[in-house]
Structure 1
């Protein structure tokens, strides 16, 4: 009973040693349970002891071993490879060096600062450590403080369990106390680190400490199981590919689904993942004619040319009547029609030296009007010409006024002003000699032609009247 009470006292001391420390939530604890052996022989003292380290492994002759759990320790990692450990042990001494003695009770309480060499070995399964510290040992009823030096090896089976063996030299300070070696072996269990999300990864190593995750992802989850942790996964709920940051490419067109407007049909990057079967630049889902190329402005369909004149309906001012490209798809007056116009225009008469049209020209002007009306998209040019009698300036002005008079009559009778242009050329373009009365009669004329610019005009040509021709 006396021995048991002392062992319990030692245990309470060890546990109390841990309790008074401020626990670091990010540094795990370790508890070790095992056996110990006390050897008083290889200490370099006088008989009954031998020389230092002599017969160090002579278990049968010199080691005192209690065949039961006889040692318990608790340790805390404090960083930088250092561990603080408190240990309590109990034993029975029957071998005092080379001398046999009656069973003496042995108790010890020790505190040790240990330094792990595991990091130097790349954090593998082997963990050598050195330690220095102090303690108090009772041999039967006599006690003595000790200065301790230790060396040990831990063999890690997992992150939490290891087999630990160590040997400690204890130098006693009391005159009647004896230095000795204490050997220990036990199973060490790691515990005490904070794991907020309960995923088995301590917070200090957990990149997602508040969300349960996987060890291979440093404590972060991979909800879709695609091998990309959620915090790095652009599509955490849908399995995808690393090249697309965890997003899928369902149609295999190289465009991830979130950026693919047609995620189930292979397409092109230019069409945002949608196909363009006819290659007209309009994706099929917006193309009203997906099998036939057409412009965007016509929803992917080709423009029609109903009258087959080579001018598309969109540009054809006469889409149902064949015309010419030059006349925007509308028919142009034939040479025969122009000739007829000019035959009528020759019969248009003016008052002498004036631009006033004589009443008897009414029928000719109506005929001209009807032909122009038939070609409703044609721009006509009305030319005024004179003979050479009179000054050039006078003739030029008179020709302009007469051409303008014809234009004005046609406009007032329904021909749009923007389809008519007029100009006077005076005596500069004779078609006959001015040396005879008949020739001069031919030169005094109005001619009608197609406007060379082929553009509708919106304003009328200004005319100015000058003096009389004699």
Structure 2
């Protein structure tokens, strides 16, 4: 079984000699076959009554040209003789480097060849015959033929002869050096990437158009397809099925206006490229095909028609052709008054709700002179100064000032003292009665300590007040908290009484 496997390997290696092409320049072969010996015992090659022994091999070859390859072949097998006087047999390994001449070019499916080279033979030691293990083959030569099974697979038949520098591996000297024949069969495999600079599937050596852009379909010669034969390849031809000039990307132009028919909106009438092949009789920038007033210059926005009062309605549709500039008009070109209150939309602050002209068209539900659109208390009569809300009573104003003076915090902290919470609850009651009023919370400190620290502390304290009020139901949008640190003192910071007065919270209502 081992001999059989070795024989198969050798057969496959012999085939590699004729496998390569210019596109696939490397070849690996697996070979196997039989060896024959010719030497002092009188054996002859090709005689069936002489000894035949198996071998296997591996080859690697490289394409040099259409008719030349170079190949390296290594074999392992048995060699021997069945002479009546001696039964000579030994294990044999060989290596050889050969230059091969292919009689036919790579395009042929069957390629006979001749080769010549040299190599070495390595025998197992046999002390009874000769302890030396290496002979040299000068030359090695032979012939063979390759049959192409596919672009990558070849079937090979080969005869190789190796004449050695030794005459004693058979145990006898005289009558000429020993020689060996290798009868082989094998398969070889081409590999390697063909050189195709433009990646069109046609190798450079056969490509008549080597710079074709990637992705373009090409013919057998590597040139882009041109179905209509107009000189413009299909990938550049906007009309690949109809012949036309290259200047129009291969498209025809029936009216000869320089615009290809496929892009010409007026293919029967000569026009300009700017208007896709259509004319513009009045020169207003609107082609006649789209111009509602083709003989009178107008604007593009109005499809070629004029607009004397510039209200956006063409004169031919305008029922109020003398509208003042800037006034918005309806589809008929007349000033708009959506709510029909006599105040035109252009001047009406409430164009969709009827109101008096004195309030610029806006209603005033509570009649306090503040239009509902500006009135923060639209259902309660108030004052203009308070944006339509009623004045806060003086009692409540004073109460807020008193509350501010009774808001205290723990030392060097923004945590409210318990006594301050009662005051803030009273403040919540007032703010709920005047829901339109906003509250500004201002915080101050004395000048003891770092300025930056004092500023941050005053800010945190105002935010503590704000947070408490929010928890009690006052909307955050009504509250503004700002810390001012040591600024704006109201007393002398040199005395403890003055510093105590400067550590304060001020509350201010606004609308």
TM-score by length of 2: 0.38
TM-score of the superposed pair, with normalisation by structure 1: 0.41
Answer 1 or 2: which has greater helix percent. 1
